[in-house]
Structure 1
Amino acid sequence: MTHPADLSARAARRMIARKQLSPVELAEACIARVEALDPAVNALIARDFDGMLKAARQAEADVAAGKDLGALHGLPFAVKDMIDVTGLPTTFGSEAFRHNIASKDDAIVAAMRAAGGFPIGKTNTPEWSAGGNTRNRVHGVTANPHDLSRSCAGSSGGSAVALACGYAPLATGSDTGGSLRNPAAFCGVVGYRPSPGVVPGNTRAAGLIPLPTSGPMARNVADCALMLSVMARPDRNDPFTPVIDGRTPWDPADFATLPRRDLSSLRIAVTEDFGFAPTEGIVRDHFRKIVPQLAPFFGRVEDATPDCTDADRIFAVLRAVQFLGVHAKLVDEQPELVGPNVHDNVAEGRSYSAEDVAQAIFGQARYHRDWQAFFETTDYLLSPAVCISPRDWHELYPTEIDGTATKSYYHWLALAYASTLAGHPSITIPCGRDANGMPFGLQIVGRRHDDRGVLAVAAELEAVIAGLSDLAPRGPDLAALARAPKLSEARGFLAFD
């Protein structure tokens, strides 16, 4: 019998509705898993076990009373430490907000509570989500559960680790340059970046630059889709969420019921690097191994990529502009409380001229049109999710890949921000292990606003991969994690050395 903490969200929800599983039993199992494993990985940096158990007891009472049950009824979920949960810290991984306590729920958390879920606590993130290694000077580092010496990526690293370890079946993430896709890939779980506006950012700082978005994370595609059906909602505060007569053009409930897709009818493009990403040899090798195994299931497969000319430059400028707008004051007034990645991005933003910004904005428009032309003759695109195999977590960011220097602390995220710039939905699903024995993430990209299609194709591929013995996902060794020493005692846990 599957341990309650390892059940999928859908399986747990069905069992709760049938009175085969108590929400309290599930909550207690998740709490026990956190207490047993988190000393080794440091994924959950704030906990609300009392509130969780109280909500679970109410959920159990509602089942017994025969009340209508929400889509997430009785399900725990983890929350990235970038959005608010009432009564818990929201530190953003920043020393300047070390003692910040949220007075109300973020809209995403409120929606998930309304659907019957309840938060287990907050997950670790790099300072202000700046960077692909989950480290900060408030809560320390989060380690990869498949190899505690390696990075779990980021910035939604704590959420990915929490899922892989069975703390909860669902977790929130956010993504600009791959911040939920990259940790999902490194930790062997699923991360979905929706089209802009599907999950409203009701507090979006740069309203008309659609790079960041929140999205669902889970251990399988169907659970991500279920969570998306709750996260997606009408909200006019996000300029990329069209709301007409109180509704969006998409019905959020549809995400929970994915259609079957005939893979043999699809035209698939595959690329190792989008023509510009600094993809590591070990990643290329594994991708070349899996493509021939998946190709027979599709109608047409060809090596091809959209035109990604100037992608690095466009992303660098737009990203730096956002950091400059949000963090310049903090850097100027309290520089000692700001880490190196945020300092670097603010300095980078100040180095660009108005002409640089104008060229990036107009360049993104051209980039978007090129991607639309490409997807007129291609249904979906497959690529690796991340440019590198997981590395030692002491490394703040990769300064080189296969001996070639990286351009910035986020350059190694290029495989993810390729689709970010075009505004296309993309998902990362586990697909075997690379030559280092670490989980490999396969990225699936679809047309803009084909969110349901991307999820449906991902679910079909997930089933195919599960039937291929050398590619089927494997979780971390939970017994070994329970025996591991405390991560907090490791050299460099809090420092950037």
Structure 2
Amino acid sequence: MSGLCDSSAVELRRLLAARAISPVELLEACLSRIATINPAVNAVVTLDEPGARTAAKKAEAAILRGEDRGALHGLPVLIKDTQDTAGLRSTYGSPLLRDNVPVADQGSVARLRAAGAIIFGKTNTPEWAAGGNTRNPVFGATGNPFDPMRSAAGSSGGAVALACGMAPLASGSDTGGSLRNPAGFSGIVGMRPSYGLVASEKRAFGWSSLSTDGPMARNVADTALMLSVMASDDVRDPLAYTLPGEPVRSRAERWAAPRPADLGKLRLAFTEDFGFAPTEQAIRRVFRDRVARLAPLFADCREATPDCSGADDAFAVLRAGLFLAMHGKNYKERPEMLGPNVRANVEEGLSYTLEDHGRAATTQTRIYRAYQTFFETCDVLISPTITLSPRPWSELYPAEIDGVPTKSYFHWLALAYAVTLPGHPAISIPLGLDEAGLPFGLQIVGPRGGDAIVLSVAASIEASFAGDAQLCRPVPGLARLAAAPPLSAAPGFLTWE
């Protein structure tokens, strides 16, 4: 089963501009794929078919008049359900906002729409994006496209929609890896940009670098195209500071088409665990195999990691502070309306002192400086994207890895937050399957502000293995998913605890 909606965003834009296809035709292909496949995986939770069809007809008329409305003109785009969309329900996966319909787009969505994107639906997320398992009491669980009873990670469930060809592009956000982790589990591309590159007016802590919005797609070029639109200055975001008259972020040509990197001139460092992440042995074995395949492409390859000591504690404290600020009032007044992950974070936040916060902030700064020293000795760093192979989504979170208990519900995301803390750009690209026959994600980390470098290296690695049946992007069995029973019939589909 394949169709127009499986084409890349870059190719679709070319076809649209050449009038070889119409935005209406493309939208209908995406809607048809959703109708056929989505019941098996539950990735798309809200649709605006009438509004999208109207927008597609307007885009078609503009193209016929020879008008170009932007880099995404005529492309259907899905938006994460934690991001506000004008006139389209935005629940954040929470019963508190089950019927919430924002009157305005948030900034990153507005930039996509202004570039011609047709915003036609919302993708699933864990409640308030809390956790790496896309599951909530409003819409239920999202299944892995390669095995719907397994986790698709989280919190950006749009990765599943992309893997299944429901749209060419989808938005996400990332604190502890929520762009990279679902990309790794679903076999697509997810990028966490440098903080401030994708400006946001939504962060509760404006000066905190932990959370950022970002792009997801099926290949690196499409991811770069979407980033070129999302990147922007915004006076409401204190981390998006710039110099007057200097369009640091809004220069689309810096991101839209990544130049292939000359890997043969670059120094590669690799790490299985950043010195602390509880990476399971099966993932370590697959990663070592991938390193052996990648090493000959680079000028130098060595095992090394920045000093990330204290990362678990620092991330736990800083993350808990965010959740306490955002959900402390509801925890006190309506605790029954919050799920276990959010409650756990708020309770943890209440247990910390200002001294704990000072320690965490100091540790984050030390890790950041360790990264700067580290990248003097290498050009790019790689690791597995996630510490383990997909587990059943009925498991709230992995309580153990290789028989060793995890420290928290997000400890298994340590490979991601090892990079979140210093704020360096990182991308997850698919590189074949793991030992369980499920997608394996490779995390590529660049130097400070090196978003263009990350995209270039990722594009070159992707191209190097595009013709390798074992290492190219895996594609889920769409015919099998089309024939599968609806995920909503599975036991525990809507269970919260």
Q: How far apart, CA to CA, are the structure 2 residues paired with 1:260 and 1:368?
A: 28
Q: Deviations over 1:230-254 (max 9, x none)?
A: 0001112111112322544242332
Bigger shift: residues 181-190 or 42-51: 42-51
Residue 405 of structure 2 corresponds to: 405
Equivalent in the alignment of 2:395: 395
Partner residue of 1:193?
A: 192
Q: What are the equivalent positions in structure 2 for 1:440-455 lying under 5 Å apart?
A: 440-455=440-455
Matches for 1:307-346 after TM superposition, within 5 Å = 307-346=307-346
- Residue number in structure 2 paired with 1:47: 47
Who is 1:73 aligned against?
73
| Displacement after TM superposition at 1:496 (Å) | 3.3
Look up the equivalent residue of 2:271 and give its one-letter code: T
2:300 pairs with 1:300: yes
- 2:140 corresponds to: 140
Match runs of 1:129-278 below 5 Å: 129-156=129-156, 158-250=157-249, 251-278=251-278
- The residue aligned with 2:428 is 428
Describe the superposition over 1:215-236 as per-residue Cα deviations: whole angstroms up to 9, x where unpaired: 0000000001000010001112
- 1:103 equivalent in structure 2: 103
Q: Over residues 65-100 of structure 1, what are the superposed CA-to-partner deviations in whole Å (9 max), with x where a residue is unaligned?
A: 111341001100000001111111111111111111
In structure 1, the residue matched to 2:479 is 479
**Which amino acid in the other structure matches residue 26 of structure 2?**
L
For the 8 Å contact 1:233–1:252, the answer to whether it is kept is: no
* Contact 2:283 2:388 (8 Å CA) reproduced: yes
Comparing 104-113 and 128-137, the one that deviates more: 104-113
1:285-319 deviations in Å (ceiling 9; x for gaps): 10011111111001000000000010101100000
In structure 2, what is the Cα distance between the partners aligned to 1:260 and 1:441?
20
Conservation of the 8 A alpha-carbon contact between 2:180 and 2:192: yes
1:429 alignment partner, SS class: strand
- Aligned CA-pair RMSD: 1.1
SS in 2 for 1:256: coil
Give per-residue Cα distances to partners, 1:309-352, cap 9 Å, x unaligned.
Answer: 10101100000000001101011111111100000000000111
Q: Which moved more, 1:444-453 or 1:105-114?
A: 105-114
Kindly provide the amino acid, as one letter, of the partner of residue 22 in structure 1: S
Question: Deviation digits for residues 402-457 of structure 1, max 9, x if unmatched?
Answer: 00000000000000000110110000000010110000000000011111111011
- Contact 1:280/1:402 (8 A) holds in 2: yes
Match of 1:93 in 2: 93
CA distance, structure 1, for counterparts of residue 335 and residue 44 of structure 2 = 27
CA distance in 2, matches of 1:153, 1:247: 38
Q: For structure 2, list consecutive stretches of 5 or more residues without a partner in the other structure.
A: none
Unaligned runs of 5+ in 1: none
Question: Alpha-carbon deviation of 1:36?
Answer: 0.5
Supply the distance in 2 between the matched residues of 1:429 and 1:295 (Cα, whole angstroms): 17
Establish whether residue 32 from structure 1 lines up as the match of residue 32 from structure 2. yes
Separation in 2, partners of 1:376, 1:465: 28
* SS of 2:432 mapped into structure 1: strand
Q: 1:468 deviation in Å?
A: 2.6
Structure 2 partner of 1:374:
374
**Matched-pair identity in %:** 56
| Cα contact 2:81–2:90 (8 A) shared by 1 | yes
Q: SS in structure 2 opposite 1:162?
A: helix
Give, in whole Å, the separation in 2 of the partners of 1:301 and 1:50: 53
Residue 317 of structure 1: SS of its match in structure 2?
helix
CA contact (8 A) 1:234 1:247 kept: no
Matching residue's letter, 1:306 = P
The answer to whether the 8 Å contact 1:268/1:302 transfers is yes
Question: Could you tell me how far apart the structure 1 residues matched to 2:267 and 2:462 are?
Answer: 18
Q: Distance in 1 between matches of 2:431 and 2:5?
A: 23
- The CA deviation string for residues 143-183 of structure 1, in whole angstroms up to 9 with x for no partner, is 00111110000000x21011011111000000001011000
Q: Is the 8 A contact 1:236 1:243 kept in 2?
A: no
Between the aligned partners of 1:246 and 1:397, the Cα distance in structure 2 is 47
Q: How many residues align?
A: 496
SS at match of 1:240: helix
**What is the TM-score when the length of structure 2 is the normalising length?**
0.98
Equivalent position amino acid for 2:355 in 1 = E
Q: Given the two structures, how large is their TM-score scaled by the length of structure 1?
A: 0.98
Q: CA deviation at 1:56?
A: 0.9
Q: Give 1:2 shift.
A: 6.2
Deviations 1:100-127 (A, max 9, x none): 1111111111111111111121110000
Match of 1:488 in 2: 488
Give distance in 2, aligned partners of 1:27 and 1:470: 32
Q: Which amino acid aligns with 1:335?
A: P
CA contact (8 A) 1:242 1:249 kept: no
Distance 1:465 1:323 in 2: 41
Alignment check: 8 A CA contact 2:90 2:100 kept: yes
1:257 counterpart SS class = coil
Moved more, 216-225 or 201-210: 201-210
Counterparts of 1:181 and 1:272, CA distance in 2: 16
Q: Secondary structure at the match of 1:12?
A: helix
For 1:311 and 1:68, the matched residues in 2 are separated by 46
Q: Give secondary structure in 2 for the equivalent of 1:215.
A: strand
Identify the residue that residue 60 of structure 1 maps to in structure 2.
Answer: 60
In 1: Cα distance, 2:220 partner to 2:386 partner: 19
Runs of 4+ in structure 1 deviating by more than 4 angstroms, as ranges, are none
Q: Do the aligned residues in 1 keep the contact of 2:108 with 2:200 (CA within 8 Å)?
A: no
